[in-house]
Structure 1
Amino acid sequence: MISRFFRHLFESLKSLKRNGWMTVAAVSSVMITLTLVALFASVIFNTAKLATDIENNVRVMVYIRKDVADNSETIEKEGQTVTNNDYHKVYDALKAMQGVKNVTFSSKEEQYQKLTETMGDDWKVFEGDANPLYDAYIVDTNTPSDVPKVAEEAKKIEGVSEVQDGGANTQRLFELASFIRVWGLVIAGLLIFIAVFLISNTIRITIISRSREIQIMRLVGARNGYIRGPFLLEGAFIGLLGAAIPSVLVFFVYNIVYQSVNKSLVGQNLSMITPDVFIPLMTVLLFVIGIFIGAIGSGISMRRFLKI
C-alpha cells in the first residue's frame, strides 16, 4: 500500500515535469482563481467583522437634566457646599436595569471637546458657561437587541432629559449587519463553487491531452484505481502550487492594507481582522481549497476515460 502510494507520487511528479506547458497553464489558472477567492474573501470577512463591530458599538445615550447633578457627591446650595442627596440616583437606576452591561459617565465638557475635535474650531464659541450640552451616561447593553428595551426604560427615570439610541437608524443598522453576514457567506460559497468549476475544467484539459496515455494503460490491463492514483496526486500538486503565490500575496498585501486602513477605524472602536489571525486562516484555507479542488477536479475529469 505504502509502496504503491510512493510509486504514484513519483509518477505524478514525472508527469508534471513531462507535461510542462499544460502544468504551467493549470497552475496559472488555479493561482488566478485562488487569488480572486482570497481577494473577495478578505473583503467579505472584514466587512462582516466591521458590521458586527458597528452593531456592538450601538449604545444608549442618557442625557441628564441641567438641574440634576447625578455624578457629584456634593452640590452648592445657598453659597454652601452640602451633600448631594440625589447622588447616583440615575446611575443606580440604569445599572439595575436588565440587559445593561456597563454605565459610563460623560460630562458636558468631555462631549464638547469631542464635538470640537470632530466639527472644527467654529464650535469653540460655546466654551465655558455657554456650553449647551448636557451631562450624559453612556449605557452599554449585553446584546444589541437589548438597546431598544433599555432606551424605553431609561426615559422613565426621574432626572433624565433625553434618551437617544439611534431609533430607526439603529434598526436599519442591525438589519444591514444581518444582511452582510448572511449574504457574505452565500457569496463566499459562490466564489468557491466558481473556483471548483474553473479549476476542474482546466485540469480536464490537461487530462484530455493525455487521453492516449490513459487508453494505453487500460489496454495493458491496469486497474482504474491504479490509473486514477497519479492523476489525483497531480491535481493535488497543481492545487498546492497554485495556492502558493496567492498565500504570499495575502501575507504582504493584507499587512499593508491593515496598517494603512485600520488606523482610521480604531478611533471609532472598529477594527479589521488582525493579520496574526486572518493570514494563517486564509493561507490554510487557500491550500486546502487548492489541494481538494485539484484532486476532485482530476477525479471528476477522469470518469469519462475510465468507463468500460
Structure 2
Amino acid sequence: MIRTFFKHLWQSVKNLRRNGWMTVAAVSSVTITLFLVGTFLAVIFNTTKLATDLEHNVRVSAFLKVSVHDNDEEIADPNDTSKMIANPDYHKVYDEIEKIPNVTKITYSSKENELDKVVKTLGKEWKMFTGDSNPLYDLYLVEADKPENVKSVAKAIGKISGIYRADYGGTNTEKLFRLSNVIQTWGLGGAALLLFVAVFLISNTIRITIMSRQREIQIMRLVGAKNGYIRWPFFLEGAWVGLIGSIAPSILIAFLYRISYVAFQKSLAQEELYLLNPTSFVPQIIGLMIVIGVVIGSIGSIISMRRFLKI
C-alpha cells in the first residue's frame, strides 16, 4: 500500500514535469485565485474582529454641563473666589448614573484629558485650545453589562440633571455594525465564488492534460487497472498544483498583512480596537491557504477524471 502510494506520488511529479506549460497554467490560476481569496479572508476575519471589539467597546459618553463640577471635592467659594469650599454636589451625577440598571463601570475624564486625546490623534496644533480656550466637556464614560443595553442606559443618563448630552455613537455605531455584516456576507460569497472559479479552471486545465494522455488511460483500463489505480496519480497531480500555487500568495499575503498591521494598528489602538496579531494570524492564514490550494487542486482533478473513467 505504502509502496504503491509513493509510486503514484513519483508518477504525479513526472506528469507535472512532462506537461510543463499546462502545469504552469494550472499553478498560475491557483496563485491568482488564492491571492484574492487570502485577501478576502484577511479582510473578513479582521472586520469580524473589529466589529466584535466595537460592539463590546461601545460606551456612553455622558457630557457634564459647564457649570457642573461633579468630580471636584472642592470648588471656589461663590462669594469669594480666592477660597475653596467643599463641593455640596460632589458625585451627585455619578450617584444617579450608578443607580441606573445595567451600568457596570463609570470612568471620569476631564476636558483636559479629552483634549490630550485629540492632540495625540489630530496633531500638536490642537494645543492652542488649552486652558480657558478648551471647548470640550468633562464627561463620564459609562459601560453597560451588555451591548444591547447601551441604548437604554444612554437614554436614562440623558434625563439626569447636570448632563448636557449622553452619546453612544447612535446611528454611526449601528451603521458600522451593518457595514460589518455586509462585508462579512459579501466577502464570504466572493471568496466562495473565487474558489468555485479556481476549481473550474484547474479541472479544465488538468482535463486538457488528461485528454493528451487518453490513450494511455485506455490502455491501462484494457489491461485491467482499476479506476482508483488510474485516478491516484492525477489526484496527487492536482494536489501538487494546489500546493505549489499556494506558496507565492501565502508569502505575499503575509508580507502585505504585516505592513498593513503596522500602518493601521496605531490609530485603531487609540479607539481600543485591534487587528488580528500577525504573530498568530499569519501562520493561520498561510495554513488555511495551503489547505484550500491542495483541496481545490484535488477536487479539480477528480472532476476532470470522472468523464474518462466512465464505463
Question: What range describes the TM-score normalised by the shorter chain of this pair?
Answer: 0.7 to 0.9
Residue of structure 1 equivalent to 2:230:
227
Cα deviation code 1:49-90 (max 9, x no counterpart): 344444444431111223332112233334454433433232
| Contact kept in structure 2, 1:55 and 1:173, CA below 8 Å | no
2:161 aligned with 1:158: yes
**Aligned 1:135-284 pairs, distance under 5 A:** 135-284=138-287
Q: Which moved more, 1:79-88 or 1:238-247?
A: 79-88
Residue of structure 2 equivalent to 1:21:
21
| Contact kept in structure 1, 2:29 and 2:198, CA below 8 Å | no
Residues 61 and 252 of structure 1: CA distance in aligned 2, closer, same or farther (over 3 Å): same
- In structure 2, how many angstroms separate the alpha carbons of the residues matched to 1:269 and 1:99? 22
Structure 1 residue 286, shift from structure 2 partner: 0.9
- In structure 2, how many angstroms separate the alpha carbons of the residues matched to 1:31 and 1:41? 15
Runs of at least 5 residues in structure 2 that lack an aligned partner in the other structure: none
Amino acid across the alignment from 2:159: K
Structure 1 residue 304, shift from structure 2 partner: 0.7
Residue of structure 2 equivalent to 1:62:
62
Residue of structure 2 equivalent to 1:94:
97
Amino acid across the alignment from 2:285: M
CA RMSD of superposed structures (Å): 2.6
- In structure 2, how many angstroms separate the alpha carbons of the residues matched to 1:284 and 1:195? 18
| Contact kept in structure 2, 1:102 and 1:139, CA below 8 Å | yes
Runs (4 or more) in structure 1 with deviation over 6 Å come to: none
Query: TM-score of the superposition, structure 1-length normalised?
Result: 0.87
Cα deviation code 1:165-202 (max 9, x no counterpart): 23333332332233223333322322222222222222
- In structure 1, how many angstroms separate the alpha carbons of the residues matched to 2:42 and 2:102? 34
Cα deviation code 1:226-278 (max 9, x no counterpart): 11111111111111111111112122222223223333433343333221122
- In structure 2, how many angstroms separate the alpha carbons of the residues matched to 1:36 and 1:24? 18
Residue of structure 2 equivalent to 1:287:
290
SS in 2 for 1:270: coil
| Contact kept in structure 2, 1:242 and 1:290, CA below 8 Å | yes
SS in 2 for 1:75: strand
- In structure 2, how many angstroms separate the alpha carbons of the residues matched to 1:203 and 1:99? 61
SS in 2 for 1:67: coil
| Contact kept in structure 1, 2:242 and 2:295, CA below 8 Å | yes
Q: Which moved more, 1:156-165 or 1:80-89?
A: 80-89
Residues 164 and 48 of structure 1: CA distance in aligned 2, closer, same or farther (over 3 Å): same
Structure 1 residue 156, shift from structure 2 partner: 2.4
Amino acid across the alignment from 1:204: R
| Contact kept in structure 2, 1:200 and 1:293, CA below 8 Å | no
- In structure 2, how many angstroms separate the alpha carbons of the residues matched to 1:151 and 1:21? 65
Q: Which moved more, 1:145-154 or 1:262-271?
A: 262-271
Residue of structure 1 equivalent to 2:39:
39
- In structure 1, how many angstroms separate the alpha carbons of the residues matched to 2:199 and 2:92? 62
Structure 1 residue 38, shift from structure 2 partner: 1.7
Runs of at least 5 residues in structure 1 that lack an aligned partner in the other structure: none
SS in 1 for 2:105: strand
Residues 112 and 286 of structure 1: CA distance in aligned 2, closer, same or farther (over 3 Å): closer
Residues 72 and 236 of structure 1: CA distance in aligned 2, closer, same or farther (over 3 Å): same
Query: TM-score of the superposition, structure 2-length normalised?
Result: 0.86
The number of residues matched between the two structures is 307
Q: Which moved more, 1:78-87 or 1:211-220?
A: 78-87
Residues 201 and 92 of structure 1: CA distance in aligned 2, closer, same or farther (over 3 Å): farther
- In structure 2, how many angstroms separate the alpha carbons of the residues matched to 1:110 and 1:23? 62
Residues 3 and 115 of structure 1: CA distance in aligned 2, closer, same or farther (over 3 Å): closer
- In structure 1, how many angstroms separate the alpha carbons of the residues matched to 2:294 and 2:6? 18
User: Percent same amino acid at aligned positions?
Assistant: 54
